Amino acid sequence: MTDDMLRAPAEVKYADELDWLESIDDGPKPFSWRLSPKMVRLFILGSERADGLDREVSQKWFGDRSFVERSIVTLASDRGLLLIGDPGTGKSWLAELLAAAISRNSTLVVQGTAGTTEDHIKYSWNVSMVIAKGQSRASMIPSPIMTAMERGVIGRFEELTRSTSDVQDALISILSEKYVSIPELDDDNIVFAQPGFSIIATANSRDRGVNDLSSALKRRFNFVRIPVVTNKRSEAEIVRFRTTELLRRHQIELDVPPNLLDILLQSFADLRTAAASATSDDEKLESALSTAEQIGVLEDAILHSTFFGDRTLRAQTLAGSLVGSLARRSPEDLAILNKYWHGVVEPRSKQDGGDWPAFLEGGREAIATLS
């Protein structure tokens, strides 16, 4: 079934694993949960030998287990969960995994934007049916959040701080009252949330000041802050995990040499250090330099090597992908990258050798092309 989808949701991608966990799960389950809290944690963080299971459960999210446990406990209460952090820290992926494990449905999603309206979190109308037969429950189009309420499952709200205050105010009512009124109808005009309903929202910490959350809305959420991954070992695990998925999805047989992965990780670490010591925004790359962006750089390099190379990932290609992905402003970002290449990559290529000289040359060529 996953072959028919460009990107299968977690409950489809890991359906076999979820079925097996559900079959052996004898723990207490809150409300209408498909798995117990312990099994939800196991599904997300993977199994260990001490668990004594008959099969291995893969690790799907890499981070502190306390973040996952706090998220699960929050969803077992009557409060919403707000995952907040920098771009690329895995907030949306964690939200999807939680919804998949708890409800076996992670697709009831509202995307917060400046154009998001109350209709997107409550309901709208099928105009042709209203004209033909009038307003009724049959002619109503429930939002993903209302559908989650009716089914007693998890609804998701992505980029909450990008939506306007009117939308946020409407969400306060849903989180506190746990029902939605439909004043256009005379009968059957209230949709009550069923046990098990909750909302997982995500917010980008870099969007502070865009549409700040009100104190009233903050009180309806438990906050879980997801930090940027700075541990090289953990970051390498995430990049390997995502890269393996990428190769499998594209049916590509290509090895990622460990030394090139080390160069990618070191380059991002160096650039983050430079950004932290910068005194103005003009001295910082526009990129958040997140783990997700590392994966994007590696994906670009792999696809370029597959379609336009000899199916071998080389340092020059990786360097070109890094420059092409991170140089978003001209000339500011190009100047920052040029300074990094001359001040850090060039000395390192002379000192360490290996693939660094080729990485140096590939980066120089890419910068010259874009300049």
Res 1: pLDDT: 55
Inter-residue contact 200 to 81 (CB < 8 Å): yes
What is the arithmetic mean of pLDDT over 7-36?
94
| 331 or 124, greater pLDDT | 124
Q: Is the pLDDT of residue 309 over 80?
A: yes
Res 46: pLDDT: 93
Res 157: pLDDT: 96
Q: What percent of the chain has pLDDT over 70?
A: 98
- Average pLDDT along the chain: 90
Whole-angstrom Cα distance, residue 237 to residue 61? 10
End-to-end C-alpha distance for the chain, whole angstroms:
45
pLDDT band at 3 (very low <50, low <70, confident <90, very high): low
Q: Which residue has the tokens 């190379």?
A: 309
Over residues 96-151, the pLDDT tens digits come to 999 999 999 999 999 998 889 999 999 999 999 999 999 999 999 999 999 999 99
Taking the model in full, what pTM does it have?
Answer: 0.84
DSSP string, 124-181: EE-HHHHHHH-S-STTEEE-HHHHHHHHT-EEEEESGGGS-HHHHHHHHHHHHH-EEE
The two three-digit tokens of residue 15, written as one number: 């359906």
Q: Is the pLDDT of residue 337 over 90?
A: yes
Taking alpha carbons only, the member of 22, 20, 62 closest to residue 44 is 62
Res 210: pLDDT: 59
Q: What percent of the chain has pLDDT over 90?
A: 61
What is the arithmetic mean of pLDDT over 44-64?
89
What is the arithmetic mean of pLDDT over 300-325?
92
Res 19: pLDDT: 96
Over residues 67-85, the pLDDT tens digits come to 999 999 999 988 899 999 8
What is the arithmetic mean of pLDDT over 264-268?
93
